[in-house]
Chain A
């Protein structure tokens, strides 16, 4: 047995694991960067929790919303409205938007832009949620007008109404409200640590070409940003905190991952949240679950 050879390989395993654990301790040490209590609407059980006995991990999926999500309800036909993720924000996260959109090579130039890493602010409830509900209300009126003009079908309106009726009870109240490259500056702008969380995410630039909706509204060519995904969107639930969720994950297996706040939930399946979860974010903006409590469901 060559102990030196063994020591080098085994040492690398132990040192790397120790390094990772020191990083975890650093993230979780001291005052948390944010501490927020969410419900099943914002942190439903992750799809993996419903799979099979082959994977026994229990995790929560961080479910958040952005304007792009609401467009889906309108079947990919956006109405003209201001979006906070504009060219200035794109430049703030490092995109070079100096080439004028009138330049002949602008389309190729901006189409080639790749995703970047950025910090996104998620607001829980509050003003963003109120505006969100108002926007949905406007969408309903808009859709009803379209149906009256014969431009959309009654089924489209019914679908939108279904979604809207469920929203105040089941939709996630976690909304992306800002983006930047410096989390400290973002925290200064959003100091409430139990309402705003700052998370690492992937963002993308895209060129919205000139066009018009079916109702004839026009929009000019412009640059938009989109939060494409959170870098940590599955939050692991440690064994010690699984008791409340364990029974749910087993009984929910038949729903194949359709969670109460999921857009794929059929009207009859919509449910009120059954638990609340306290999540902390540490110095490295990495989350962990500290408590899970069952919620009383109204009859």
Chain B
């Protein structure tokens, strides 16, 4: 396959996924080169000097082209630098967003209402324009991500301060609009941070809506963790309804945040029965949610293993252990000597490791079969 054809393949999945596809290709090339070296050293495969030369030339040219066109990481050093740049981009975005907030708070009492409106509306629009400009200039997402978070912060500020200036009654609908804006930017520019912002806004809106359907004032929705359960399940199911062909890794974020919400709400209710809508004795509610917590954690592990979603497997395992340890604390902390309590925890951890090891071996055998 020629180099041009390879680059065409990298771009075939659509514009937003270009860089990811190119990076995956680069990673495959490195893995292939490492395995080929190993096979040659073990004497299992021998390429003729001419074949070796052609392959090396092809890969070098391909890596150069992909690096040039998509600004992907073609060496291990570049990859490490990229991680650092991502952190710097995130911190820079937070600082700039705070700056936008504080600047407006410092000046808004000194300017007339029409100018306040002009600044508030133009702020996010200009930040979106900056995103387009940075996106055009370079393929790496750092500056676009930074401008994106500033645009999101400016839009949050816009609606929040319009509410203050005109004394508007607070409403959960603001979260729906903020979420829509974050999703628009996240999908248009393939930005995970804004996707997370959108997911959190949508989660807040849905949970508050569930609360208001029960007649509760919307800002009190956090007082009943059950309000979060439908929103969590809905988010978890989003990838099953909407296919993310151009953004394959976005699906994982919906599943992770959806299930995290559900497991967290159940964990809280298993220790705070008074916070439930259910009219049962507090102890009974807590027992009910403890059982549900274990069942859901187990189910999450199974789903993760069954469909190959490691993030869900890790999430389920973490909550399973948290559920277990908090229960042990309730049962044993007061009457057991402390050394015995921690010894018991340690022994149970060893037992769990053995169970997981067995399960893992069985999966390996099934894979070989």
- Which residues does A use to contact B, with CB under 8 Å? 1-2, 5-6, 8-10, 12-14, 16-17, 20-21, 23-24, 27, 53-59, 94, 105, 108-109, 111-112, 114-117, 200, 202, 231-232, 234-236, 238-240, 242, 284-288
Given pairs A1-B132, A115-B217, 13 additional interface contacts (CB within 8 A)? A5-B188, A8-B188, A12-B184, A16-B158, A17-B159, A116-B215, A117-B217, A232-B169, A235-B167, A239-B110, A239-B112, A239-B116, A287-B167
Those 10 A-B pairs whose CB atoms lie nearest each other, nearest first:
A56-B109, A24-B166, A114-B216, A115-B217, A9-B128, A5-B188, A10-B125, A55-B105, A13-B124, A117-B217
Minimal Cβ-Cβ distance residue in B for A58: B109
Q: Does B168 contact A (CB under 8 A)?
A: yes
Instruction: Determine whether B68 belongs to the interface, using a CB cutoff of 8 Å to chain A.
Output: no
CB neighbours of B224 from chain A (8 A): 114
Report the separation of the CA atoms of residues A4 and B170 in the bound assembly, to the nearest whole angstrom: 32
Most central of B116, B136, B166, B188 by chain A CB within 10 Å? B166
Is there contact, CB below 8 Å, between B162 and A20?
A: yes
B365 close to A (CB within 8 Å): no
- In residues 264-293 of chain B, which contact A (Cβ within 8 Å)? 274, 277, 279, 281-282
Beta-carbon contact of B166 and A236 below 8 Å: yes
Contact with B169, one of A21, A235, A240, A286 (Cβ below 8 angstroms): A286
The residue in chain A whose Cβ has the minimal distance to the Cβ of B129 is A6
Q: Mark B172-192, 1 if CB is under 8 A from A, else 0.
A: 000001001100110010000
Given A17-B120, A240-B112, also A6-B132 (CB < 8 A) = yes
Q: A16-B159, A54-B105, A57-B108 are in contact. Are A288 and B170 (CB under 8 A)?
A: no
Contact B181 A12 (CB under 8 A): yes
Do B184 and A236 touch across chains, with their CB atoms under 8 A apart?
no
Known A9-B188, A114-B223: A200·B106 in contact at CB below 8 Å: no
A231 contacts B169, C-beta separation under 8 Å: yes
Secondary structure call for the A interface: mixed
A202 touches B113 (CB 8 A): no
- Inter-chain contact A9/B185, CB cutoff 8 Å: yes
- Given A1-B133, A13-B155, A114-B216, residue A236 in contact with residue B167 (CB < 8 A): yes
B322 at the interface (CB under 8 A from A): no
Q: Which of B106, B170, B217 contacts A53 (CB 8 A)?
A: B106
Complex contact B111–A239 (CB within 8 A): yes
Selected A-B contacts with CB under 8 Å, 23 pairs: A2-B132, A5-B132, A6-B128, A13-B121, A13-B155, A17-B158, A17-B162, A54-B105, A54-B106, A55-B105, A56-B107, A56-B108, A57-B109, A57-B164, A59-B164, A111-B274, A114-B223, A116-B216, A116-B217, A236-B167, A238-B112, A240-B113, A286-B167
If A1-B132, A1-B136 touch, whether A20 touches B159 (CB-CB below 8 Å) is: yes
Q: List the A residue with the shortest CB-CB distance to B109.
A: A56
> B98-124 interface mask toward A, CB cutoff 8 Å, 1 = contact, 0 = none?
000010011111111100110011001
| CB nearest neighbor in A for B215 | A94
B201 at the interface (CB under 8 A from A): no
B168 touching A9, Cβ below 8 Å: no
- 8 Å CB contact of A114 from B125, B180, B217: B217
A126 shortest CB reach to chain B, Å: 25
Give the shortest distance, in Å, between A250 (CB) and chain B (any CB): 11
Roughly how many angstroms separate A21 CA and B165 CA in the complex, as a whole number? 11
| A13 closest partner in B (C-beta) | B124
Q: Does B220 count as interface, using CB distance less than 8 angstroms? A: yes
Chain A residue at smallest Cβ distance from B189: A5
Contacts of A242 in B (CB 8 A): 109
CB distance from A28 to the nearest CB of B (A): 9
A287 to B158, CA, bound (A): 20
Within the assembled complex, what's the spacing in Å between the Cα atoms of A235 and B167?
Answer: 6
Q: Are A57 and B166 in contact (CB under 8 A)?
A: no
Residue total for B at the interface (Cβ-Cβ under 8 A): 55
- Verify A56–B106 contact, CB threshold 8 A: yes
Contact B169 A13 (CB under 8 A): no
Interface string of B232-251 (1 = CB under 8 A from A): 00000000000000000000
- Please, how many angstroms separate the alpha-carbon atoms of A109 and B128 in the complex? 50
Is the CB–CB distance between B109 and A10 below 8 Å?
no
Any chain A CB within 8 A of the CB of B7? no
* Residues of chain B from 59 to 108 with CB closer than 8 A to chain A in the complex: 102, 105-108
Q: Which residue of A lies closest to B184 (CB)?
A: A9
A94 to B168, CA, bound (A): 24
- Least Cβ–Cβ distance between A42 and chain B, in angstroms: 16
- Give the residue name and chain of the B residue nearest to A12 (CB): B181
B-chain residues with CB within 8 Å of residue A112 when the two chains form the complex: 274, 277, 279
- Chain B residues with Cβ below 8 Å from A27 are 166
> Which residues on A sit within 8 Å (CB–CB) of B279?
105, 108-109, 112
B151 at the A/B interface (Cβ < 8 Å)? Answer: yes
Give the one of B129, B151, B184, B274 with max A CB within 10 A. B184
Nearest CB in chain A to that of B124: its residue: A13
Interface string of B126-154 (1 = CB under 8 A from A): 00110011011000000000000001000
Do B128 and A13 have beta carbons less than 8 Å apart?
yes
CB distance from B159 to the nearest CB of A (A): 7
Give the distance to chain B from A263, nearest Cβ to Cβ, in Å: 25
Residue numbers in B under 8 Å from A232 (CB-CB): 167-169
Give the residue name and chain of the A residue nearest to B181 (CB): A12
A288 CA to B183 CA in the complex, in Å? 34
Chain B residues within an 8 Å CB radius of A24? 166, 168
Which residues in B have their C-beta under 8 angstroms from that of A231? 169-170
**Cα distance, A114 to B227, chains bound together (Å):** 13
- Which residue on B lies nearest to A249, using beta carbons? B109
Residues in A neighbouring B166, C-beta threshold 8 A: 20, 24, 27, 236, 286, 288
A12/B180 in contact, CB under 8 A: yes
Residues of A within 8 A of B109 (CB): 55-58, 239, 242
Chain A residue contacts of B168, Cβ below 8 A: 20, 23-24, 232, 286
Quote the shortest CB–CB distance from A91 to chain B (angstroms).
Answer: 12
- Residues from chain B with Cβ under 8 Å of A286 in the complex: 166-169
